Amino acid sequence: MTLTRRALAASALALPFIAEMAQAAPKKPIVIAHRGASGERPEHTELAYRLAVDQGADFIEPDLVVSKDGHLVVRHENEIGGTTDVESRPEFAARKVTKRIDGQEMTGWFAEDFTLAELKTLRARERLPQLRPASAKFDGQAQIMTFAEVAALARAESQRVGRVIGVYPEMKHPTFLASIGLPIEDRMADALRAADLDSPTAPVFVQCFEVAPLKTLRRRTNARLVQLVASEAGPADAPSTTYAQMITPDGLKAIAAYASGVGPEKTLVIPQNEETLLPATNFVRDAHAAGLVVHPWTVRAENYFLPKSLKKGLAMRPDYQRLQGDVTPVLKALYAAGVDGVFSDFPGLAAQARDA
């Protein structure tokens, strides 16, 4: 047998082994751009989403509320006074109201009191201008987007950069929206079908802090669903249930009956105190045992969000809290804990830490 034939034979024998290794190889955790690159551009804008893609994000996240005329619009909350210029618009001054949403009173301007055409006249602004003044320089440059526009943007960006960019929408305040005659679940299901995202292999996850809306959506779509959980309180639609109960091994198994994944507050995976990060919990192990992927939220880079050991700069500086600290150890600890993805306001840093 010649050397070439020996090499070919060896290659043929190795193929099954290589295939098995490829299947067994761990998948790279996904980077989810939390409201886009929201640490550097006003959140939920085309500016923030495009920058996130350029920085290496795999998914872009649009939080969804509903307009007066039934459109899925992209805002972190239905109260839009903090993220748009509506307060400076005299034609909308009379629409400032106080509402009770998920048990809390809020005063401001609310998306459900505006038609989509009216919302499109507004311009986005930075939600945390004192903490993110560089982002605030982009105030007034972007419109409010719809979910359909974000899905179209993800498709266009996929073609531009040559890799699949997914969308990771969150249904906000479903119980409240249903109470005012604007239920979000059917709208979400219809939007997924319209965007060709209604399958378990489509580049989409739909998330929610409430339980019943996800169970309802499970009956209406084949897309992957994610149950969000926090370190305190519980879902707004189940006052007798706490998130602490939902993240026990049995609670995670119950989530797996209707969802593909769980999105924990990051301190449920990597706790921290004022001084430093603490050892990883068993959260990822328990969730994986239940068959759930784990996508914790949200990694932010400013000193304000980090323990003392990771802050940078002189504490006496007036801008100390908004300086960028050393967030890489947070990201590496999450990846080392075995998470399947990470939400970050700074997707570029999340991608760098993962790829390193």
Can you tell me which residue has the tokens 């004192």?
130
Six token digits for residue 169? 């929408």
Instruction: Give the CA angle between residues 234, 239, 240 to the nearest 5°.
Output: 95
Q: What is the DSSP string of 150-187?
A: HHHHHHHHHHHHTS--EE--EE--HHHHHHTT--SHHH
CA separation for the pair 324, 315 (Å, rounded): 13
Please tell me which residue in 44, 76, 173, 295 is annotated as part of the active site.
76
Six token digits for residue 203? 């580049």
Cβ-proximal residues to 245 (8 Å cutoff; 6+ apart), any chain: 234, 251
CA separation for the pair 151, 163 (Å, rounded): 15
| 295 classed as catalytic | no
Please tell me which residue in 34, 44, 173, 295 is annotated as part of the active site.
34
Cα-flanking dihedrals φ and ψ of residue 60, to 5°?
-115, 140
| 76 classed as catalytic | yes
CA separation for the pair 217, 191 (Å, rounded): 12
As annotated, the active-site residues are 34, 76
